[in-house]
Amino acid sequence: MLESEDYQCPYCGEWVEALLDLSGGDQQYIEDCPVCCRPILFELRTDGESWQLQVRREDD
Ligand SMILES: [Zn+2]
């Protein structure tokens, strides 16, 4: 199941929509910002229904 959530890029501050795959459970992954192309660290916590998304700079 895919959900979408808007997040703010920690580098350039642009709002971007992320697609979240809740079927995989808790996840940490890196995706490049589609605007500034810098690597964003995503931390997704989910029980398959509700979720919490945190985004951080990779170098934090
Ligand atoms: Zn960015």
What is the distance in A from the centroid of ligand 1 to the CA of 16? 8
The per-residue pLDDT for 60 is 74
What is the distance in A from the centroid of ligand 1 to the CA of 6? 13
pTM attached to this predicted model? 0.88
What is the distance in A from the centroid of ligand 1 to the CA of 56? 11
Of 58, 54, 32, 33, residue with least CA distance to 43: 54
pLDDT in tens, 17-41: 999 999 999 999 999 999 999 999 9
What is the distance in A from the centroid of ligand 1 to the CA of 19? 16
The per-residue pLDDT for 23 is 94
3 token code pair:
């959900």
The per-residue pLDDT for 1 is 77
Alpha carbon separation from 47 to 17, 32, 40, 41, 53 (Å, rounded): 21, 25, 23, 20, 12
Q: For the chain, what is the mean pLDDT?
A: 95
What is the distance in A from the centroid of ligand 1 to the CA of 17? 12
